[in-house]
Amino acid sequence: MKIIAEFWGYWAQGPAEEGMAKVIAAHPKIDGVWAQVGGVGVPKALMDAGRPLVPLATESANLWRLNMMDPEMKAKGLKGCTYGSPLYQGAAALMYTIKILDGEDVPHMILIPYDYHEEDDLKLCETGSIEELEAGCNVFPADIVSPGFFADWYHPEFSKGVDLQMALTGTVPGID
């Protein structure tokens, strides 16, 4: 693998798109992109420049996952994977902290799995109910969450029992 360019995207789609546009202007051949953020901005920059879409590995923004599932985008050549530093890491840290405070023995090295998916692994939720999440849905309708919503917030161990509405509002039904 040869890295032809790098730039700061400041964890936002706009700067990622601008940075990619500069890379496109300077490099006639790009075979793939690995971006921490940019699942929306990078393909847009390529299409705006009339360049072919290339494989893209990037974060778990919901709109990126929706685009990966979109037959029109796939027909334009869009393919890639989605990964991230998942939001459930915080829940995992809290869970292990409570275990330690309760006197349980926990490993000194704890690896929290990343939520890595390729196109065929994506499954659209209808509502984000607990039942859907437990069944493996990992992409949410565009009218329920914002485009940049990180779709990798759910984990069957670390956020068990939390549905999408609870995650979006920070409230649990029946608890005041």
Mean pLDDT of 97-107: 96
CA-based radius of gyration for the chain:
18
The pLDDT of residue 13 is above 80? yes
Q: What is the pLDDT of residue 77?
A: 93
Round to whole Å and give the CA distance between 166 and 171: 5
Taking residues 5-33, report their average pLDDT: 93
**All structural domains of the chain with their residue ranges:** 13-82, 88-169
Instruction: Indicate if the pLDDT at residue 65 is higher than 90.
Output: yes
Average pLDDT over residues 155-163: 92
d(CA 134, CA 33): 32
Confidence at residue 176, expressed as pLDDT on a 0 to 100 scale: 61
So what's the pLDDT on residue 36? 84
Task: Please tell me the distance from the alpha carbon of residue 166 to that of residue 173, in angstroms, as a whole number.
Answer: 8
pLDDT (0 to 100) of residue 113: 86
Q: Are 20 and 26 in contact (CB under 8 A)?
A: no
Q: Give residue 9's pLDDT.
A: 86
